[in-house]
Amino acid sequence: MLAIRSHFLNHFNDAPALVVKSPGRINLIGEHIDYNHGFVLPAAIDKFIELAIGKRTDGAMHMVAVDLGETIILPMHNLAPHATVWVNYIIGVVDQVLNTENNNASIEINLVSKREDLAAGFDICIQGNIPLGAGLSSSAAIECAVLFALNELYSLSLTKMQMALMAQSAEHTFAGVHCGLMDMFASLHGEKNKAILLDCDSLDFTYYPLVLDDYSIILFDTQIKHALASSEYNTRRFECERGLAIIQEKYPTVKTFRDISLEQVEACLAFNDIKGLKVYQRCKYVVEEMQRVQLAVQDLAKGDMQAFGKKMFETHTGLSNLYEVSCPELDFLVEAVSNNENVLGARMMGGGFGGCTINIIKKSAVEEITKTLTASYAQLMHKELAVYITSIEEGTHLVAE
């Protein structure tokens, strides 16, 4: 990749004021429980968006997507969702800064003079190597890169958590995706060789060492995304809400799934009809996964990656059989490595119905496993397998010249 500074100089005939790198993310364990007030365990990775930015004085944004070969110019005022998808990840966060009182970040700072400076406009170039559609949160990486750059360029004094909340609001309002906070949080807060336990209720977080030694994190990308993913996501949320309401009828002190035991799930939700069975299965998975996350971080604290890996396999079983958000391709990839002594753990990652499996594989065995799995995936699933070797890296940061 040609350095982003060179692209900026070639396009705008001037050097950028600063350069920012913002990573994608993985989630090690804790899937589909962020919207159930649970815990997630994300980490920033070595796939990133890189951004160069400089000030203008004419009240316009000149935005260049290097990888797409596209340039869009817009005025700084009267911002609204744009037909070009990638543009919304930039202008959405600009709108958040210019109209802070309209977002849910509850930022108690005075941005009046800063907004006047920002309203004068800027030049921006972006490029990256985050695989699109793989569930590694390229959109969040762009949003965080832009916010971080604006924060530095205009001395906005925003905290990382404030930026994460603003990026989430931008995703809701401009991209039209009602996502949780995990992606933006992980992109901004990541630390090298550390996973982050994020409490999706209180937003408290704790870093845990991710000591891999002779192992690597490998992502196997099915390169598919079924159309039912978004509708099924909404259905799962409704089923969880229904189960919670039923339990609350019998146990009024219960507020969220964090207050629920497996015994209560069995007592309240073990229905015989099909609709009730689905609610029971969803809630059983959520409670079990919350417990797994708490045990998994204890494994990390002790450096017991064998135990951690077993929990990844258990999570996949729950996601496939109880939560039913897997698909044949994902199940095949996990099953194919489940009895391999060189694989500590594997599971589907993300919303489901496609995307990647995340695997912890012994470095000396990565090449052979990848070769074998690629061939069998092509033969049995009639699709090409994409493979990404990742490492855990620093979150969004300035890049020195």
- Does residue 65 carry a pLDDT above 50? yes
Q: Does domain 4-210+394-398 match CATH 3.40.50.720?
A: no
Q: CB–CB of 343/218 below 8 Å?
A: no
Half-sphere exposure of 282 (CA within 13 A, CB side): 24
**Is-catalytic flag, 183?**
yes
Of 34, 95, 123, 183, the active-site residue reads 183
Q: How far is CA 209 from CA 104, 286, 357, 363, in A?
A: 32, 25, 22, 19
What does the pLDDT average to over 219-247?
86
Contact 145, 28 (CB under 8 A): no
Strand stretches in 240-337, DSSP E = none
Residue 274: Cβ-neighbour burial (10 angstroms; 0-12, 13-18, 19+): exposed
Average pLDDT over residues 369-392: 96
* pLDDT one-digit tens code per residue, 340-351: 999 999 999 988
pLDDT in tens, 281-328: 999 999 999 999 999 999 999 999 999 999 999 999 999 999 999 999
The SS3 assignment for 296 reads helix
Residue position matching structure tokens 């969004």: 396
CB atoms within 10 A of CB 59: 11
Helix ranges restricted to H, 13-154: 85-98, 112-118, 138-153
Q: Strand locations in 255-390, DSSP E?
A: 343-349, 354-362, 386-390
- For β-strands 42-55 and 121-128, DSSP reports them as antiparallel
For the chain, give the longest Cα–Cα distance: 70
- Predicted local distance difference test score (pLDDT) of residue 102: 45
Predicted pLDDT of residue 108: 45
The per-residue b/e assignment along 107-146, b for 16 or more CB within 10 angstroms, e otherwise, is beeebeebbeebeebbbbbbbbebbeebbbbbbbbbbbbb
Q: Which residues pair with 40 in a beta bridge?
A: 198
* C-alpha–C-alpha distance, residues 180 and 237, integer Å: 12
d(CA 211, CA 246): 42
**DSSP one-letter code for 155:** T
What are 52-62's pLDDT values in tens digits? 999 999 999 99
* pLDDT computed for residue 113 by the predictor: 64
Q: Where are the beta strands (DSSP E) in 162-286?
A: 194-199, 205-209, 215-225
pLDDT-based confidence at residue 104 (cuts at 50, 70, 90): very low
Secondary-structure percent of the chain, ordered helix, strand, coil, rounded to 5: 45, 25, 30
- φ/ψ of 304, rounded to 5, equals -95, 80
CB-CB contact of 25 with 130 (8 Å) = no
Q: Are 324 and 281 in contact (CB under 8 A)?
A: yes
Q: Alpha-carbon torsion 255, 257, 259, 260, what sign?
A: positive
The pLDDT value given to residue 175: 85
What is the distance between the terminal CA atoms of the chain, rounded to a whole angstrom? 16
Where do the domains of the chain lie?
A: 4-210+394-398
Rounded average pLDDT over 140-154: 96
In angstroms, rounded to a whole number, what is the distance separating the alpha carbons of residues 371 and 16?
42
3-class secondary-structure state, position 87: helix
Which pLDDT score, from 0 to 100, does residue 132 have?
A: 77
CA 45 to CA 210: how far, in whole Å? 12
**Residue 115 binned pLDDT confidence (cut-offs 50, 70, 90):** confident
* Of 113-122, 161-170, 352-361, 375-384, minimum mean pLDDT range: 113-122
pLDDT of residue 87: 97
Closest CA to 26 of 176, 150, 183: 183
